[in-house]
Structure 1
Amino acid sequence: MIHLRAAVAAARHQDRPTAKGLLDQAEELADDLGSDENYWQTGFGPTNVLLHRLSVELDLDNVSYVVEHGQINVDHMPQERSVSHRIDYARALSLTGRGDEAFTELRTAERTSPQLVRNNPRVRETLRDLIKQSPVTGGSRSSEVFVMAQRCRAVQ
């Protein structure tokens, strides 16, 4: 998990080589483990490495990679990881103009953990983008987006 957290930190500083190296090290360890486990509440395993790789790629603006590889079953993962992935995946979908799919991911994430979704700055940013992509009109999906944006304090 230390490798994964450090990889995310490197990506947020736009240090692709360091992030990639750390992810590769974590992947080796996860492959040795062989399955997704939750020892010491880490949720460490091959799936968590993949989720962190997607998060890193999003931070490094490789949105197409995230959209292409992001459709992963995360239902067996710890709640925080599954919700974080759905938020990242929704962000990538939104950035590629796939608003309906992005909103579906955000709704699923919110049903799983309302508090994690409603207090996440990336969710707020994504909801604002979704509103711009589809202005609010009576009774349409965009109205649902606006209501969710209000719950998440993305709009007033």
Structure 2
Amino acid sequence: MDATTAYVRAEIRLGARTHAAGLRALEQALDRAPRNDEPEALAARGALHMRAAVVAGRARNSDAATVHLDMARALGDRVREGVYRGTVFGPDSVRVHEVSVAVSLGDGHLDRALRLAREWKPPRDLPAERRSGFYIELGRAQLWAGRPDAAFESLKVARRIAPQHAREHRWVREDVATLRRLKRADAESLSNFAEWCHAGASL
């Protein structure tokens, strides 16, 4: 329960962009986490490492992000994908977060996100919000890599999977606004998408 609480609280740190404090809190929770090999204990530690990798990535701390992602991957390989005390964890969740970390780290790391997306897609039994998040992150990687058409397609997939999640996601609004600036004369569907997620307010 302590690990689950720390995992959820880290979301608040991400929203407030207090990444250093969030990373410290996650690492302290890892120090307290149970060390046995029961699936719930492995998943608890894995989820904390997974979230710590994302927080470190947002802080542009490549070394910490890599260490935590490697640990999450190793633990994810030892459990089945599933819900453990309210937190989804497993090898597929780790792959989703690999894309998130690569996008957060930016230049020099985007190829990893694009390569993973070519080789793997989130399975349908993953929660819709997590699958949608994968395509939102992928869309941002594609946009930054100079592939605006592919980015828009990824955002449309994210919307089909979890409309409310995509509509409220800050990155969706930011990226659609950028796409409209890049492609002002493009299809009406882009303008409709921008109005749907309220991206027009940021233009």
1:47 matched to which residue of 2? 92
Letter of the 2:178 partner, please give it: D
**Mapping 1:93-112, distance limit 5 Å:** 93-112=142-161
Cα deviation code 1:18-41 (max 9, x no counterpart): 1111111111111111x3223334
User: For 1:30 and 1:114, how far apart are their aligned partners in 2?
Assistant: 28
Cα deviation code 1:55-92 (max 9, x no counterpart): 11110002222122224321221111101111000111
User: For 1:12 and 1:101, how far apart are their aligned partners in 2?
Assistant: 24
Report SS of the residue matched to 2:82: coil
Q: Which among 159, 167, 170 is matched to residue 121 of structure 1?
A: 170
User: For 2:182 and 2:86, how far apart are their aligned partners in 1?
Assistant: 39
User: For 1:21 and 1:90, how far apart are their aligned partners in 2?
Assistant: 25
Residues 118 and 152 in structure 1, CA contact (< 8 A), matched pair in contact too: yes
Q: Structure 1 residue 73 and structure 2 residue 118: aligned?
A: no
Larger radius of gyration: 2
Residues 89 and 102 in structure 1, CA contact (< 8 A), matched pair in contact too: yes
The gaps in structure 2 that reach 5 residues or longer are 1-46
1:132 matched to which residue of 2? 181
Higher RCO (CA-CA < 8 Å; seq separation 6+): 1
**Comparing 128-137 and 82-91, the one that deviates more:** 128-137
Q: Structure 1 residue 4 and structure 2 residue 50: aligned?
A: yes
Residues 97 and 133 in structure 1, CA contact (< 8 A), matched pair in contact too: no
User: For 1:28 and 1:68, how far apart are their aligned partners in 2?
Assistant: 20
> After the TM superposition, which parts of structure 1 deviate over 4 Å for at least 4 consecutive aligned residues?
none
**Comparing 36-45 and 84-93, the one that deviates more:** 36-45
TM-score normalised by length of structure 1:
0.89
Letter of the 1:68 partner, please give it: R
Q: Which among 38, 51, 66 is matched to residue 83 of structure 2?
A: 38
User: For 1:99 and 1:48, how far apart are their aligned partners in 2?
Assistant: 26
Residues 136 and 146 in structure 1, CA contact (< 8 A), matched pair in contact too: no
2:135 matched to which residue of 1? 86
